[in-house]
Structure 1
């Protein structure tokens, strides 16, 4: 899923893509369309062990560290949440722990995203970011990722 060399480039690309649309209805549709591009989530991981709690929708999340980079997989039963997962993965997928920890979640404000989500969705989105950052912190502390 890695399309850009750095998280900052991914954020700028997202900002440019969002700027293309005149209103949030079109941006929501774009986010939903991004979710349709997520790789298929393994059916054997659709279980409680991989369920992410903290979202109002059902969300499943998995990851693996390979070659010092995180590889993220996610799914939701809600189209908009699936799109938000895809958006986060464009920023965080296939990044090193240092890149993840150096990327502030403030990019959601730059995209004006939190202001256009329900409080529950914004809380869930921040929870997913905190989970990814915690994984990076743990990998960085262990030094074995």
Structure 2
């Protein structure tokens, strides 16, 4: 289950002819995201397992599995900012319960990211997905 915003990215990727265009689109998505304030770029929001600096700031509305999952993110690497934007489109606005059911690997595979990211970037992307799922799981259990 993917959000309408993610479906829009997937449709755009279908129309782009090659990976270079898709890569530029991911970068543009990252550039369009508002930056996080330095005050929230703290160890509690930092994602471990990424070669770049990555922060994910949860903004969960409500409690339990029905809570709405929202987050903001940032990175010091422009392509990683774009990957955060893709994850934002995939997860932001879903309920915590739905976040836990999203098959991120399958959804991201639709974009062909696995075939074109370095192993370091792929590991970082997995770390971001794990962080998002962990945040959702904590809320669902509360």
TM-score scaled to structure 2, two decimals?
0.89
2: CA distance, partners of 1:102 / 1:9: 16
Which residue in 1 is equivalent to 2:10? 15
* Structure 2 unaligned regions, length at least 5: none
Q: Which residue of 2 aligns with 1:92?
A: 91
Q: Kindly tell me the number of residue pairs found equivalent between the two proteins.
A: 137
**Runs of 4+ with deviation above 4 angstroms:** none
RMSD: 1.5
User: How big is the shift at 1:102?
Assistant: 1.7
Question: What does 1:52-63 align with in structure 2 at a 5 Å threshold?
Answer: 52-63=47-58
TM-score by length of 1: 0.87
* Contact kept in structure 2, 1:8 and 1:103, CA below 8 Å: no
1:50 and 1:114 map into 2 onto residues whose CA distance is 25
**Structure 2 residue aligned with 1:35, among 30, 34, 56?**
30
Give the structure with the higher percent strand. 1
Per-residue deviation at 1:69? 1.0
**Rounded Cα–Cα distance in structure 2 between residues aligned with 1:141 and 1:12:** 29
Which segments of 5 or more consecutive residues in structure 1 lack a partner in the other structure?
1-5
Match in the other structure for 2:115: 115
Counterpart Cα distance in 2 of 1:119 and 1:111: 16
SS of residue matched to 1:57? coil
